[in-house]
Copies of this chain bind each other. A is one copy, B any other.
Amino acid sequence: MSDFPKAIRIVEQGPREGFQFEKQPVPTVAKVELIDALSGTGLSQIQTVSFVNPKMVPQMADAEAVVAGITPKPGVRYTALALNEAGIRRALATGRLDLEGFVSLTASEAFLLRNQRQTMAESIEKQRGAVGLYKAHGIDVNRVSIMAAFGCNFEGDIPVERVLDLVQAGIDIAAGHGSRIRQLNLSDTMGWATPRTIRQVLEKVRARFPDLELALHLHDTRGMGIANAYAGLEMGVSTFDSCVGGLGGCPFAGNPAAAGNVCTEDLVFLCDELGIETGVSAEAMIEAARLAERIVGHPLPGSVKTGGTLARRRAAIAANKGVGQ
């Protein structure tokens, strides 16, 4: 019935993807404080910043200062997003980051045209160059990421066959530079996935690419985030991107707690209840989520930080009965 992994890896994206969406500038020290707090939760990987054009993404203009301010914790990988030569150079110059090369493809040409002014063919060609660039800087490329894999606001539903073709294209691009793809990250960039489409797409992906490790990058735009993560766990997905507190939502006027990325502490809570190891302390992550709320100055959408964990409830009940501490 289900194929739960014994353990999953959570890649925290809050400091990068989350803050990027905030309208108000977030002070560098606050970013550093949150990253340091996240370092103490048991997370093994934190995406800290992106090295992009500060004119396009002003929230990331202080990327170098943020990275310089972190107190690195042994066992934690600090990564960053860098998509071009300038970005890679900036990231490498920090001397503190673990860069990961990847082939970034997009399943919707309408989205590509709108957001990157590229056709599908141009995007694939461009990724050949990007992989060459990573390799030239000694960065291994072992992941294919596919954006809009489950649907697109500008194109609609995405045929599974197109996703499968893009996975193969990504594998081929990497192979052209002597790299072997080990992981596939499917991104529900615009929140189109449901548990059913997660299952449908992953079943076909697993059938055609049985050796690929699966990762999901989920948005909670329509409230399906945790249900989709559960469907992913049932399909054996072993890596999840997520954001502390559910950071990453556009701050809608009417609802300051509008949904962003799937929420890290809610995902950790779910895994705790399913007996799936994450290495992350839900309680510590809840504290980090509260810090994130103080930093952004508005409520974040995650639920467990208000509802509390069941582990804590069970401990309190045991203590009352004189069984526990």
Interface residues of A (CB under 8 A from B): 1, 151, 153-157, 191-192, 194-197, 199, 220-224, 226-227, 229-231, 252, 254-259, 263, 266, 269-270, 273-274, 290, 293, 299, 301-310, 313-314, 317-318
Q: Is the CB–CB distance between A313 and B156 below 8 Å?
A: yes
Q: Is the CB–CB distance between B299 and A194 below 8 Å?
A: no
Q: Is the CB–CB distance between B222 and A304 below 8 Å?
A: yes
Give the shortest distance, in Å, between A204 (CB) and chain B (any CB).
14
Set B197, B199, B223: member contacting A304, Cβ < 8 A: B223
Give the shortest distance, in Å, between A31 (CB) and chain B (any CB).
21
User: Which chain B residue has the least Cβ–Cβ distance from A263?
Assistant: B223
- Most chain B CB inside 10 Å of its own CB: which residue of A231, A257, A274, A308: A257
Q: Is the CB–CB distance between B259 and A223 below 8 Å?
A: no
Q: Is the CB–CB distance between B259 and A257 below 8 Å?
A: no
User: Which chain B residue has the least Cβ–Cβ distance from A306?
Assistant: B258
Contact sample, A vs B, 30 pairs, CB 8 Å cutoff: A153-B313, A156-B313, A156-B317, A194-B274, A195-B227, A196-B274, A197-B273, A221-B303, A221-B307, A222-B266, A222-B269, A222-B303, A222-B310, A223-B266, A223-B269, A223-B302, A223-B307, A224-B226, A224-B270, A224-B303, A226-B226, A226-B227, A227-B230, A252-B306, A254-B290, A254-B293, A255-B305, A256-B299, A259-B303, A259-B306
Q: Is the CB–CB distance between B227 and A257 below 8 Å?
A: no
- Most chain B CB inside 10 Å of its own CB: which residue of A226, A252, A304: A226
User: Which chain B residue has the least Cβ–Cβ distance from A151?
Assistant: B310
User: A220 contacts which chain B residues (CB < 8 A)?
Assistant: 303
Give the shortest distance, in Å, between A229 (CB) and chain B (any CB).
8
User: A157 contacts which chain B residues (CB < 8 A)?
Assistant: 314
User: A303 contacts which chain B residues (CB < 8 A)?
Assistant: 220-224, 258-259
Seed contacts A1-B1, A153-B313, A223-B307; 12 additional CB < 8 Å A-B pairs:
A156-B317, A192-B310, A222-B309, A223-B263, A223-B266, A223-B303, A224-B270, A227-B227, A230-B231, A257-B257, A257-B299, A259-B303
- Most chain B CB inside 10 Å of its own CB: which residue of A229, A230, A256: A230
User: A156 contacts which chain B residues (CB < 8 A)?
Assistant: 313-314, 317-318
- A274 to B224 Cα, complex, angstroms: 12
Q: Is the CB–CB distance between B317 and A257 below 8 Å?
A: no
User: A231 contacts which chain B residues (CB < 8 A)?
Assistant: 230
Set B151, B154, B222, B257: member contacting A255, Cβ < 8 A: B257
User: A224 contacts which chain B residues (CB < 8 A)?
Assistant: 226, 270, 303
User: Which chain B residue has the least Cβ–Cβ distance from A195?
Assistant: B230
User: Which chain B residue has the least Cβ–Cβ distance from A192?
Assistant: B310
